[in-house]
Amino acid sequence: MSPLQSARVALRALRVNLLRSMLTMLGIIIGVGAVIAMVGVGAGAQARVAEQIQSLGSNLIIVLSGSTTAGGVRMGQGSRLTITEEDSNAIAREVAAVQAAAPSMRGSAQIVYGNLNWSTGVQGVTPDYFEVREWNIAAGRAFGPEDLAGATKVALLGLTTAQNLFGDSDPLGQIVRIKKVPFTVIGVLDRKGQNSWGQDQDDVVVIPLSTAKKRVLGVSQANARSVGAISIKIRPGEDMAEAEMQIRELLRQRHRLQPYQDDDFTVRNLSEILQTQEESSKVMTYLLAAIASVSLLVGGIGIMNIMLVSVTERTREIGLRLAVGARGRDILLQFLVEAVTLSLIGGVIGIALGLASSQAISQFAEWRTQVPAQAVAIAFGFAAAVGVFFGFYPARKAARLDPIEALRYE
Amino acid sequence: MVILTEGLTKDYRLGRHVVHALRDVSVAVERGEFLAVMGPSGSGKSTFMNLLGCLDTPTEGRYLIDGEDVAGLGRDALAGIRSRKIGFVFQTFNLLARTTALENVELPLLYSNVSARARRARAHKSLAEVGLADREDHHPSQLSGGQQQRVAIARALVNDPTVILADEPTGALDTRTSLEIMALMQRLNRAGMTIVVVTHEPDVAAHAGRVLTFRDGRVIRDARVTTPRDASAALAELPDVSATEEDAVA
């Protein structure tokens, strides 16, 4: 008998006991539905974490100036400005994986507007900085290369700084004083929120690097070109670890460090922390799916139970089929197809139910959910596997019946 | 020679005891014979029938059906022989419920690689042969006992078997319907079909051309009947009941 015929015979047998078939399917429907919905919730949470990571800059590498050691006392990061604007240019030029590199200096200063003042961080940066940090301008404009070249006195305010100095009024075009130097506010930066260690990234004022060196933060005596940090954006899809290694190599070369010498700079990479977060939410997804698949297992046991009942009920039919020439494998196939049909129809309905409830969860609980197509395919395959696995024993039992005994069965 | 058994023996083991169901049975049946197998229950006739039907294998001895030796064949090979050479008719009809007469007749063809179109045509022809062409779409529950047994005979015929094995085919039927079934069997036999009927009723056996009587697992009598009773003649002699069972159902 061909599989198609087996399927037809199976469908007919299932129709005969319609209510029973539906109830049996219900186990699979709930199981598959639960798996889909739980994966939806888990994957949604995962996607949200991934998005947060993106906003922090998962493809960001930061190189910090190194530490000095004076008489065995190490002074900590940035105590000596070992990296320069030329290092930054070299990184952008020579490391293929780098999309952009932006040198920066930071310090803190008192900002005064009218009779209000606010103490905040001052960042001296190049125009590339905004691209590297994926930091948009909420109002006004960013400064350009001409501001850098001319060391113009223009400033962009972080949202927190803007609110503290200006409240609700428009800061654009106003003059603020940073360390008594007047600056024109040309823009306000978009909200960046807290970084992964809880610091308010919006509590800042950003000015051109050249202006910062000349007017606000001062210049290192040793090297006028030195900077505190270089922010580096890696091209999407590039290997972060590989890029980090190349940057390190390049800087060691440029700084003429001998193999026995320590780095005179520090390379930081956010992706590691964030990977951990992503990993933990992935584990959560697996956990939810594992709990849900228990109900799929229970559904499978339901199928096995009903198939065993069905084989017993239809013993005479099996005997007759054997007598008129059915081989063991014809009978096996017939009952296996019946079990798989039950689980597949249940699987399809379960997928629909799972997608619907995942939708409902995101609607009513306002949780983000997202069901990957892969999960749907896996759930469907799993349902089929449950049908085969739990249908096999009853089907084999049917196939091994003795035709004489089966025909005589009352 | 359609059926040839030589020293056919079947032992069953029940715990520590061995039951000799069949001892050294040697029988030859020619093509076109109508054989009745008689004997009380426990005489071995059912065992003999199961062996002839390739539902079971002998402990000892040989069985050739249509020249093919059955000894040592596995389950699937036996199923193949049943499919090609044997048509079964049972006392309780064994039709599939909620399945039309036509589909019931098609059933054996499902297991012998026949196209759907050919299946339909052959089942159609087979049903016509037993006079039920107009009942194709009826379910067994909509048919009388006699009609159900005729559907079962049509099912036995559909594979064009070498032999029809009927196990108490009239056991569940009344006198008139029994005669109708026997008349149908005689007609098929006259057309050349080899038929073996197992029965414990001498009245039924009287329609056969040869009667084999079993006792204690042995054949104790193998008699030719010179003038078998003609079922259709007996049917004509029955008092004419205007509303027969079949009309009532129809």
How many other CB atoms sit within 10 Å of the CB of residue A324?
Answer: 25
Residues of A with CB under 8 A from a CB of B: 1, 5, 12, 16, 316-317, 319-330, 403-404, 407
A82-132: per-residue pLDDT in tens? Answer: 888 888 999 989 888 899 999 998 888 889 998 888 889 899 999 889 888
- Chain B partners within 8 Å of A325 (Cβ): 79-80, 82-84, 108, 111-112, 159
Number of C-beta neighbours around residue A142 at 10 A: 19
Task: Calculate mean pLDDT across residues A169-188.
Answer: 90
- Asked whether A172 and A139 are in contact (CB, 8 A), the reply is yes
Could you give the maximum distance between any two Cα atoms of chain A, in Å? Answer: 108
SS3 A230: strand
SS3 B184: helix
- Do the chains contact at B82 and A323, CB–CB below 8 Å? yes
pLDDT in tens, A220-235: 666 778 888 899 988 8
Take residue A117 and report the two structure tokens written for it.
């003042």
Residue given tokens 């209510």 in the structure block: A19
Which domains, ranges and CATH numbers included, belong to chain B?
3-249 (3.40.50.300)
**Looking at this protein, which amino acid is placed at residue A85?**
E
Q: How far is CA A47 from CA A44, A288, A374, B66, in A?
A: 5, 16, 15, 73
Helix (H, G, I), strand (E, B) or coil at B133: helix
Separation of alpha carbons A393 and A397, rounded Å = 6
The residue written with tokens 């008192």 in the block is A110
User: Taking every pair of C-alpha atoms in chain B, what is the biggest distance, in angstroms?
Assistant: 59
Pick B112's closest partner by Cβ from A5, A323, A325.
A325
Residue numbers of chain B with a pLDDT score lower than 70: 240-250
Compute the mean pLDDT over every residue in chain A, rounded to the nearest whole number: 86
User: Is the model's pLDDT at A78 over the cut of 90?
Assistant: no
Amino acid at A401: L
A381 to A15, A332, A343: CA distances (angstroms):
24, 21, 10
Interface pTM, i.e. ipTM: 0.92
* B196: its two tokens: 């073996």
Distance from CA of A383 to the nearest CA of B (A): 29
Distance from CA of B235 to the nearest CA of A (A): 31
| A16: nearest CB among B83, B98, B107 | B98
Identity of the highest mean pLDDT range in A137-146, A277-286, B59-68: B59-68
Can you read off the two tokens belonging to residue A254? 């440029």
Interatomic CA distance for residues A203 and A306, integer angstroms:
67
Q: What is the DSSP string of A42-110?
A: HHHHHHHHHHHHHHH-TTEEEEEE---EETTEE--TTSS--EEHHHHHHHHHH-TTEEEEEEEEEEEEE
Question: Which residues of chain A have a CB within 8 Å of the CB of B107?
Answer: 320-321, 324
Query: Using only C-alpha atoms, what is the Rg of chain B?
Result: 18
Backbone CA torsion sign across B151, B153, B159, B160: negative
> Do residue B79 and residue A326 have CB atoms under 8 angstroms apart?
yes
Please report, rounded to a whole number, the percentage of residues in chain A having pLDDT higher than 90.
32
Give the closest residue to A332 by CA, choosing from A322, A344, A320, A342. Answer: A322
* Residues contacting A368, CB < 8 A, separation 6+: A44, A45, A47, A48, A362
* Contact at CB, A320 and B159, closer than 8 angstroms: no
CA angle A91, A96, A100 (to 5 degrees): 55
